[in-house]
Structure 1
Amino acid sequence: MSLYEASFRVKHECPYREISERYPDLTIREWYLSECQVLEITSSEAPTDDLLEEIDGLGTILHRSVDESGLHVVTQSCLCSLEESIIDRFEEYNCLYQPPTIHRQGWEHYTVIAFDEGDARALLRDLEDDRHVDVLAKTAIAEQQIPHSMLAPVDQLFEGLTDRQLAALQLALESGYYEQPRQTSLRELAGRTAVARSTYEEHLRKAENKLLTNAGTFLRLVTATSNDPLRVDRSGTAEQHAD
């Protein structure tokens, strides 16, 4: 089974795109995290006062430097609702967004991976209804060509987990609960917290369920074209390959 990668750029109303249009030497890389938005802003040219003022209005400055290599700024801001966003459209068409979004010279650049070429085509047709879309590349790719470390942003893996669920998961992991053989029990783990065993177990099971659910899309992508680690013999019995 082939996967499909589509790279394209779009134009529509967006403050970051508009800034990149006014300052052609500027490149803005945009990441969506669980509760915030991070921008990396670079330019090989020395910034003007007007540009620095605009950057100051984008959010909290985490880093700023201007030297012989040019401008480098990292900002963080509150994450506005992504409802009706282009990212939501990717998900509607079963396309996996590959961050970051890159804003340069008045264009927003995106890359997505689809499990079916038809999904990629349908996504692009939908985007063309209300914005200018320029397709840069659309190619079939093999799973092993994809760097697995880039598939799953950490915030997406842990999306929906509460602080208590994360704490329960971290305690279990650091205490050897998931080792073989296990180094601790649920009773012992709960005894190290201020909650009852049943409450701790509820937090842990919900954390495990959410984590595996979030990882499902990325697991499907990683295994899409790999050799089957479980082979079914002629009798219909699944045979596991040796490690």
Structure 2
Amino acid sequence: MSLYQASFRVRHECPYRDLSERYPDLTIREWYLSECQVLEITSADTPTEQLLEDIRDLGTVLHESVDDAGVHVVTQSCLCSLEGSIIERFEDHACLYQPPTVHQQGWEHYTVIAFDEGDVRSLLTELDADRDIEVLSKTALSEQQVPHSMLTPVDQLFEGLTDRQLAALQLALENGYYEQPRKTSLRDLAAQTSVARSTFEEHLRKAENKLLTNAGQFLRLLTAMSSGNPLQVDRDAPAVDTAD
């Protein structure tokens, strides 16, 4: 079965069109999470105060780095509704949106993947009716070429984890608990918190269980694209001892 990938850019009235037109060296990358919108804004030029002010007006600044190498800002804003958005049009035509949306020089750049070439054509025809559009590429893909990033929405991976479970998981990861050999112990990790060792271990184990359960559906999709089982014993081949 073939898949079809289309990359195109559109120009229409949108909050970021004016900004990216006024600052041609600016790149805005846009992600949609469950209830918020995250923007990564970069430029190799030293920004003016007016540019920084315009960027800060886009939402809550999560990160800002400004130096002679340019500017790098990450903002977050409320995503009240996607009703009537171009993303909904993708879904109406059975096209899978591949984030992020990239805004440059007054254009929005999108990439979608569909299971039928006709779905791509009908989507592009509809978009052409009410906005400027330029098709950059249309390509047939094999299943093995589907980008893994499409299969793993971040908010789904961490669905159901509590704030304490996420904090325990992050602490363990940052302190080398999952490295081989381990660089810390459960006792040492718990000592950095205000909870008992047994409580910390419970938070961590529940986080691991939920994370692996959530990842399971994506793991099955990924392994379904592989041929054979690398752990399956080939009785005709010599035994190889490897930890990879």
Q: TM-score, normalised by structure 1?
A: 0.67
Identify the residue that residue 70 of structure 1 maps to in structure 2. Answer: 70
Q: Which moved more, 1:11-20 or 1:99-108?
A: 11-20
Any idea what the Cα deviations from partners look like across 1:82-121, whole Å, max 9, x if unmatched?
0111111111111111000000011000000101111111
Match of 2:7 in 1: 7
Contact 1:60 1:76 in 2 (8 A): yes
Q: 1:126 to 1:113 in 2, by over 3 A?
A: same
Deviant stretches of 4+, over 2 Å: 149-152, 155-158, 222-229
Aligned partner of residue 9 in structure 1, secondary structure: strand
- Long gaps (5+) in structure 1: 175-191, 193-207, 230-241
Give 5+ residue unaligned stretches, structure 2: 170-201, 203-212, 234-244
Counterpart Cα distance in 1 of 2:103 and 2:131? 15
1:51 is aligned to 51
Change (3 A) 1:144 1:82: same
| Equivalent in the alignment of 1:36 | 36
Q: Is residue 76 of structure 2 the alignment partner of residue 84 of structure 1? A: no
**Aligned-pair distance for 1:146?**
2.7
- 1:81-160 aligned at under 5 Å gives the runs 81-155=81-155
Q: Find the residue that maps to 1:88 and give its secondary structure.
A: helix
Identity %: 68
Residue 147 of structure 1, CA deviation: 3.2
Mapped contact 1:143–1:224 kept (Cα < 8 A): no
SS of the equivalent of 2:81 reads coil
Are residues 156 and 115 of structure 1, via their aligned partners in 2, closer, same or farther at CA, if it must alter by over 3 Å?
A: farther
Shift of the 95–228 alpha-carbon distance from structure 1 to 2, 3 Å rule, reads farther
Q: Which amino acid aligns with 1:125?
A: T
**Cα shift at 1:53:** 1.1
Equivalent position SS for 2:16 = helix
Q: Secondary structure at the match of 1:140?
A: strand
- What do you get for the CA RMSD once the two structures are aligned? 3.2
The count of residues paired between Structure 1 and Structure 2 equals 189
Aligned to 1:239: none
TM-superposed deviation, 1:154: 1.7
Q: Distance in 2 between matches of 1:228 and 1:120?
A: 33
Which stretch of structure 1 is more off in the superposition, 149-158 or 11-20? 149-158
- Report the TM-score, using the length of structure 2 for normalisation: 0.67
- Letter of the 1:14 counterpart: C
Structure 1: how far apart are the matches of 2:88 and 2:224?
23
| CA separation of 1:138 and 1:22: change in aligned 2, threshold 3 A | same
Q: What is the Cα deviation at residue 155 of structure 1?
A: 2.2
Shift of 1:22: 0.9
Task: Give the distance between the partners of 2:43 and 2:80, measured in 1 at CA.
Answer: 26
Question: One-letter code of the match for 1:4?
Answer: Y
**Which residues of 2 match residues 13-24 of structure 1 at below 5 A?**
13-24=13-24
In 2, Cα distance between the equivalents of 1:102 and 1:45?
A: 18
